[in-house]
């Protein structure tokens, strides 16, 4: 009886080739983040942030030109407004972010990183990049050319290109 009341795990609907491609991409991601001995995971652990807080912190860091709204963060991450708000609350309590009311619309809260929050965001990005750089350094010349060609093609997508440009600006500082 108990098994009948549990919510079944939803699987993504896609073809077997979509699933296999996703598995290949996931395997690549695991290799790239583990190639440096887990520096990215270690940096996340040392930050003391849980996963939603870390994702919100990094999302806020991507909004350098203007403060992010809690609603915008929730939409960007695909999480509920309540979850985004809880994560922002935790960041504010740890002095990693500030939240201010919009003077034109009191329902809107703008969120920015403090200097301390920016340091953690930069450390997380540096650890991720170290893992990726370590992996890229292991590629043969033909593997590197093919990977670069595939990435150049994907960077033509608005979502991928926008994310790349944001992170490239942050790394170039």
Tens of pLDDT along the chain (173 residues) come to 444 444 444 555 678 889 999 999 888 888 877 666 677 788 888 889 998 999 999 999 988 777 899 999 999 999 999 999 999 999 999 999 999 888 888 888 899 999 999 999 998 888 888 888 888 999 999 999 999 999 999 999 998 888 888 778 777 66
**Domain-located, residue 92:** yes
Structure tokens at 33: 């983040």
The number of distinct structural domains making up the chain is: 1
Tell me the pTM.
0.77
Q: Does 173 map to a domain?
A: no
Write down the pLDDT at residue 2. Answer: 40
Residue 131 resides in a domain = yes
In a domain, 20, yes or no: no
pLDDT at position 107, please? 84
Domain extent for 134: 37-138
Q: Is residue 57 part of a domain?
A: yes
Model pLDDT, residue 66: 79
What's the N-to-C CA distance of the chain in angstroms? 58
Residue 144 lies in a domain: no
Q: Which of 132, 111, 148 is nearest to 35 (CA)?
A: 132
pLDDT at 4: 42
| pLDDT score for 3 | 42
Q: Is residue 65 part of a domain?
A: yes
The CA distance from 50 to 29, in Å, is: 20
CATH of the domain at 101: 1.10.10.10
pLDDT at 14: 73
102 within some domain: yes
What's the pLDDT at 1? 40
Give CA–CA dist 120/128, Å, rounded.
Answer: 12
């Amino acid at each position: 009886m108990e098994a009948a009341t549990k919510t079944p795990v939803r699987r993504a609907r896609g073809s077997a080739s979509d699933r296999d491609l996703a598995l290949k991409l996931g395997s690549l991601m695991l290799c790239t983040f583990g190639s440096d001995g887990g520096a990215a995971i270690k940096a996340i652990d040392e930050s003391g942030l849980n996963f939603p807080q870390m994702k919100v912190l990094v999302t806020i860091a991507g909004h350098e030109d203007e403060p992010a709204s809690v609603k915008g963060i929730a939409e960007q991450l695909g999480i509920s407004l309540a979850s985004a708000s809880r994560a922002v609350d935790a960041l504010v309590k740890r002095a990693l972010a500030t939240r201010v009311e919009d003077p034109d619309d009191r329902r809107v809260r703008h969120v920015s990183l403090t200097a301390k929050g920016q340091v953690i965001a930069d450390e997380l990005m540096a650890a991720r990049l170290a893992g990726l750089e370590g992996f890229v350094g292991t590629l043969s010349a033909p593997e590197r050319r093919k990977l670069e060609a595939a990435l150049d093609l994907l960077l033509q997508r608005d979502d991928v290109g926008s994310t790349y440009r944001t992170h490239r600006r942050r790394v170039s500082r």
